[in-house]
Amino acid sequence: MAHVANELLEQDIEAYLTQHENKSMLRFITCGSVDDGKSTLIGRLLYDSKLVFDDHLSALISDSKRIGTQGGDLDFALLVDGLAAEREQGITIDVAYRFFSTEQRKFIVADTPGHEQYTRNMVTGASTAELAVILIDARKGVLTQTRRHSYLVSLLGIRHVVLAINKLDLVDYSEEVFDGIVADYQSFAEGIGISSFTAIPISALGGDNISERSLHTPWYKGPTLIEHLENVDVDDERSRGPFRFPVQWVNRPDLDFRGYAGQIAGGRIQVGGAVRIVPSGAESTITRIVTADGDLSEAITGQSVTLCLADAIDISRGDLIADAQAPPSVADQFECHLIWMAEEEMLPGRPYVLKIGGRTVAATVSQPKYEVNVNSLVHQASKTLGLNSIGVCNLSLDQPIPFDPYVENRETGGFILVDRFTNATVAAGLLHFGLRRADNVHWQAVEVDKVRRSEMNNQRPAVIWFTGLSGSGKSTIANTVEQRLFDLGHRTYLLDGDNIRHGLNHDLGFTDADRVENVRRVAEVAKLMVDAGLIVLCSFISPFRAERQLARELVGEGEFVEVFVDVSLEVAEQRDHKGLYAKARRGELDNFTGIDSPYEEPENPDVHLHTSGSLTIEAAADEVLGHLYQSGILSDPR
Amino acid sequence: MSSRSNRIDRLTHLQQLEADSIQIFREAIAESENPVMLYSVGKDSAVMLHLAKKAFFPSVPPFPLLHVDTTWKFKAMYEFRDRMVAESQMELIVHQNPDALLRGINPFDHGSATHTDVWKTEGLKQALGKHGFDLAFGGARRDEERSRAKERVFSIRSAQHRWDPKSQRPELWHLYNARVQPGESVRVFPLSNWTELDVWQYIYRESIPIVPLYFAAKRPVVERDGALIMVDDDRMPREPGEITERSVRFRTLGCYPLTGAIESTASTLPEIIQEMLLTTSSERQGRVIDHDSTGSMEKKKQEGYF
């Protein structure tokens, strides 16, 4: 703003403000690495749009001399590199948002690093962008990273691509070089779904074709970068598509008013419009479109409004109000793209929290059908997904949700996965389509049910789950408990880790993913046995909280008893009945719990047995039985 | 209520910013148990309060306002605060760090850094802890300072109120993850994507009331380290005859002894915006805490400053 020379601004501020109130907004992402001059380009955009204040500029001048890479000339990259740690390392490590504005538009730039390991950041930045500027170093042409960036841009549904061919000054502003790169890019862009793009020859450092037409490129007849950004029409399919309104909050100030608050995620709506509520399927019409500035007769995509309906229908947060003629699909199983964003790798079968629109549900993910190598775009087999990897998986939810395919609507087709314990956002997902499988497997309704079987057996069925390190004494204690229950006349079954691995789970190894699947299968078997009316004793190391939680949730309230057989690693290792610790220490056994694989201790076990000291097996069994009486699973012996 | 006939095909940038901020407000209260809005009486708080009213209309916003007070704000700010709160029908919680009160912490004897740390940073932590708030709205914007550019809209703070720049959650589309462990809390910044100019334009368009100190008027000032400090009460130490009356206004408001005024005759909103667009120094230059060292705001944030 330091150098604004605008007559209207100086002479008629009110007219100037009116003009600026009608500006539109464009969100775009820049893709490229430090070497491509990306930070320099953004710094240049801010500088050219006069958004650099004098105090920032003087800091820039002194920084440029001190740590600049341009031999004392202004290093625009220093304007945008944010956190202190990054400034010292000379790289950007996260998504930063920058703002600048011209006479016609306000711009929000998602600035994301181009390094291979930061797919996560680029996907995050791209999710809200309507346009992508892909930077290419004219000396290097289309590189592997160009393909990676373009693939991600296309995957995230950005339909407007600018190919900014930078550092043209270093190739003598050659038209031939420019044309060569454009032809190269064209040949692969279509294959990944980028049907059109705008190529602009620039030099961010020299300011060529950024805001002003370069005298060095008389052969180039297209717009400057700023001109293109100001004029490109980014009205997307979403706003022309069917009406979509995820309910965020039910507004109920008094008995006379009930409105549904949300932001329109697709299409438009008028008073009198017919809508369907999904997933319930109820239909109604819009009676009012309420805003604090007065009611509207019509509202469009992007507006935050409160809708009132003609009928009293039970609607809550997470429901979708949609065009009655073109409602979204509803499903509980999907195929989707998953972009993994956590250090801890994906575990197929583990339940995660899924958030889409205002709705939060439990979700489990299948093993990937394939993983996409973002550099070669080759599909490769994979058992899991690690940080920054992208794969196609099936998704299974605990309840049906309304959705649109991501390619039709980002807001109703994009979701995140959240870890249930750390609450970290671990993945972003793009829904493809619902799977019909769920519809075709109907539950067989049975006359004889769990209650009747348990009456017949004269016992309350339950799972008694023993968890602890190898050598803690789980199996010995479980055996003794079963013997005592049997003696009391109860019907029991013991599922033991080693035995199950010989049969049902003989195909599984000891990686984290296999351990999750091991416990999942056992939990499902235990559930069936509880349904059969049995008291099921399970003896498994079961090192992860999440899977023990899964096992607990599969059965009913009060039907799960977690017994933590707690032994110190030293004692377990001394005992080492099976010689496994010694093997693991010699490096002959990988992924051994306690040695090179983690054990997550239960936080609130129902029974906590300390077996390092003098606790006898009989006393341990007493404690477990004591709990079973106390919790009412066994009734008091008279 | 009569309907406005208004067939529109696209939103202006202010309409879009407003709609996105409203979405953030609604999402935050739906996902938290005990939310609160930090109200610092400045222009950003004024815009936040305005947006909160819009987000929940016709209901009153379903959370209280929290003013972490230092006892050193301008008198005009206290008057304005009480008027706004009365109009909003919302509850106001004023927290003054009892420890700072007891020790008589002030900018003259203890310096700006200690003053700000004890009254504001510590005071904020105390207030959030005392009331068990699990989510707090703040008026910070990404354009304010370089380290803010990477701040999330929903920013997770540890039980010790620390901000860890490495463990912030990715934010995609309009999906915000506000899930926290017991003791952790979320700071939510509905104005993240607004610039200073957007804020002023919006205040103008919506006729949002702001503290009169933003407008130029003749005020008693003294010069301190090159800054013009307004003498707002008798606690300000000064030499006899040192005070002069000058036409000044403030671009940002805080504790009066730490807030530099600028000489100006801009007494209407358009004049303020005009002056801002023609000016040559950034808004934060008037705030004393930024000058300590490069990256000082970042350090403050890690320690729990808003």
Sign of CA dihedral B223, B224, B227, B233: negative
Shortest distance between the Cα of B13 and any Cα of chain A, in A, equals 5
Which of chain A's residues have a Cβ under 8 Å away from the Cβ of B11? 24-25, 300, 302-303
A117 or A165, higher pLDDT: A165
Quick one: pLDDT at residue A93?
56
DSSP for A132-147, please give it: EEEEEETTT-S-HHHH
Are residues B102 and B245 located together in one domain of the fold? no
Q: Quick check: A295 and B9 CB within 8 A?
A: no
CA-nearest of B186, B93, B94 to B134 is B186
Which of chain B's residues have a Cβ under 8 Å away from the Cβ of A4? 277-278
B33 in a structural domain: yes
Q: How confident is the model at residue A513 (pLDDT cuts 50, 70, 90)?
A: confident
Are residues B214 and B186 located together in one domain of the fold? no
Quick one: pLDDT at residue B6?
53
Residue range A523-572, pLDDT digits in tens: 999 999 998 889 999 999 988 888 898 889 888 888 999 999 999 888 88
* Residues in chain A, overall count: 638
Are residues B50 and B35 located together in one domain of the fold? yes
ipTM of model: 0.88
Burial of B7 per CB tally in 10 Å (0-12, 13-18, 19+) = exposed
Are residues B160 and B39 located together in one domain of the fold? yes
pLDDT higher than 70, residue A174: yes
Q: Quick check: B278 and A9 CB within 8 A?
A: yes
pLDDT higher than 70, residue A64: no
| Cα–Cα distance, A184 to B153 (Å, whole number) | 39
Q: Which of A16, A98, A418 sits opposite B177 (nearest CB)?
A: A418
Strand order in the sheet with A560-566: A492-496, A535-539, A462-467, A560-566, A607-610
Amino acid (1-letter code) at residue A478: A
Quick one: pLDDT at residue A92?
43
Residue range A298-335, pLDDT digits in tens: 999 999 999 999 998 889 999 999 999 999 988 988 99
pLDDT higher than 70, residue A83: no
Shortest distance between the Cα of A574 and any Cα of chain B, in A, equals 37
Are residues B22 and B39 located together in one domain of the fold? yes
B17 in a structural domain: yes
Interval A203-211 mean pLDDT: 89
Q: How confident is the model at residue A88 (pLDDT cuts 50, 70, 90)?
A: very low
Q: Quick check: A304 and B14 CB within 8 A?
A: no
Partner A contacted by B196 (CB < 8 A): no
pLDDT higher than 80, residue B175: yes
CA-nearest of A574, A542, A547 to A471 is A574
Which of chain B's residues have a Cβ under 8 Å away from the Cβ of A94? 150, 165, 168
B134 in a structural domain: yes
B6 in a structural domain: no
Which of chain B's residues have a Cβ under 8 Å away from the Cβ of A105? 13
Structural domains present in chain A: 7-234 (3.40.50.300), 238-323 (2.40.30.10), 331-437 (2.40.30.10), 450-630 (3.40.50.300)
For residue B30 the two structure tokens come to 């739906």
pLDDT higher than 90, residue B14: yes
Are residues B181 and B215 located together in one domain of the fold? no
Quick one: pLDDT at residue A113?
67
Are residues B231 and B190 located together in one domain of the fold? no
Burial of A443 per CB tally in 10 Å (0-12, 13-18, 19+) = exposed
Residue range B186-241, pLDDT digits in tens: 999 999 999 988 999 999 999 999 999 999 999 999 888 888 888 888 888 888 88
Interface probe, candidates B171, B172, B299, chain A, greatest A C-beta count within 10 A: B172
CA-nearest of A25, A587, A182 to B18 is A25
The total domain count for chain B is: 2
Quick one: pLDDT at residue A442?
40
Which of chain A's residues have a Cβ under 8 Å away from the Cβ of B19? 263, 302-304
Interface probe, candidates A67, A83, A390, chain B, greatest B C-beta count within 10 A: A83
Contacts of A314 (CB under 8 A, 6+ apart): A280
B8 in a structural domain: no
Partner A contacted by B197 (CB < 8 A): yes
pLDDT higher than 70, residue A613: yes
Are residues B135 and B275 located together in one domain of the fold? no
For residue A515 the two structure tokens come to 């351990």
Are residues B126 and B47 located together in one domain of the fold? yes
Are residues B277 and B181 located together in one domain of the fold? no
Residues A157 and A406 sit within 8 Å (Cβ to Cβ): yes
Residue range B38-95, pLDDT digits in tens: 999 999 999 999 999 999 999 999 999 999 999 989 999 999 999 999 999 999 999 9
Residue range B131-174, pLDDT digits in tens: 999 999 999 998 887 667 778 899 988 877 777 766 778 999 99
Quick one: pLDDT at residue A96?
83
Looking at residue B61, which CATH number applies to its domain?
A: 3.40.50.620
Are residues B175 and B29 located together in one domain of the fold? yes
B204 in a structural domain: no
Name the residue in chain B with its Cα closest to that of A418. Answer: B177
Q: Quick check: B172 and A262 CB within 8 A?
A: no
pLDDT higher than 50, residue B5: no
Residue range A416-467, pLDDT digits in tens: 999 988 899 999 999 998 886 544 444 444 566 777 777 667 778 999 999 9
Name the residue in chain A with its Cα closest to that of B54. Answer: A292
From chain B residues 206-265, the ones with a CB under 8 A of any chain A CB are none
3-state DSSP call for residue A184?
helix
pLDDT higher than 50, residue A231: yes
Residues B135 and B38 sit within 8 Å (Cβ to Cβ): no
Name the residue in chain A with its Cα closest to that of B171. Answer: A124
Q: Quick check: A295 and B165 CB within 8 A?
A: no
Partner A contacted by B89 (CB < 8 A): no
* Bridge partner list, A109: A28, A98
Interval A218-226 mean pLDDT: 93
- Cα Rg, chain B, nearest whole Å: 19
Q: Quick check: A262 and B26 CB within 8 A?
A: yes
Average pLDDT, chain A: 85
A to B CB pairs, distance under 8 Å: 217
Q: How confident is the model at residue B4 (pLDDT cuts 50, 70, 90)?
A: very low
Q: Quick check: B150 and A428 CB within 8 A?
A: no
How many CB atoms are located within 10 Å of the residue A186 CB?
A: 15
Q: How confident is the model at residue A258 (pLDDT cuts 50, 70, 90)?
A: very high
DSSP A582: H
Residue keyed to tokens 């950034």 = B282
Amino acid (1-letter code) at residue A221: K
Are residues B231 and B261 located together in one domain of the fold? yes
Q: Quick check: B9 and A288 CB within 8 A?
A: no
| Cα–Cα distance, A588 to B171 (Å, whole number) | 43
CA-nearest of A192, A104, A187, A201 to A153 is A192
Interval B99-120 mean pLDDT: 87
B129 in a structural domain: yes
| Cα–Cα distance, A100 to B195 (Å, whole number) | 9
Shortest distance between the Cα of A127 and any Cα of chain B, in A, equals 5
Give me the torsion for CA of A86, A91, A93, A95, rounded to 10°. 110
Q: Quick check: A317 and B30 CB within 8 A?
A: yes
Tell me the CA distances in angstroms from A476 to A466, A522, A620, B149, one per residue in order: 11, 19, 10, 58
B2 in a structural domain: no
- Cα Rg, chain A, nearest whole Å: 31
Interval A78-87 mean pLDDT: 52
Domain that holds residue B93: 13-199+295-303
Quick one: pLDDT at residue A354?
96
Which residues of A are identified as catalytic? 542
Quick one: pLDDT at residue A361?
93
Q: Which of A6, A96, A416 sits opposite B177 (nearest CB)?
A: A416
Residue keyed to tokens 């181009």 = A114
For residue A359 the two structure tokens come to 């709705």
Partner A contacted by B193 (CB < 8 A): yes
Which of chain A's residues have a Cβ under 8 Å away from the Cβ of B281? 53-55
From chain A residues 313-352, the ones with a CB under 8 A of any chain B CB are 317, 341
Q: How confident is the model at residue B290 (pLDDT cuts 50, 70, 90)?
A: very low
Element holding B67 (H helix, E strand): strand B65-69
Sign of CA dihedral B87, B88, B90, B92: negative
CA-nearest of A153, A197, A202 to A177 is A202
Percent of chain A with pLDDT over 70: 88
Shortest distance between the Cα of A566 and any Cα of chain B, in A, equals 25
Quick one: pLDDT at residue B299?
54
Which of chain A's residues have a Cβ under 8 Å away from the Cβ of B18? 304
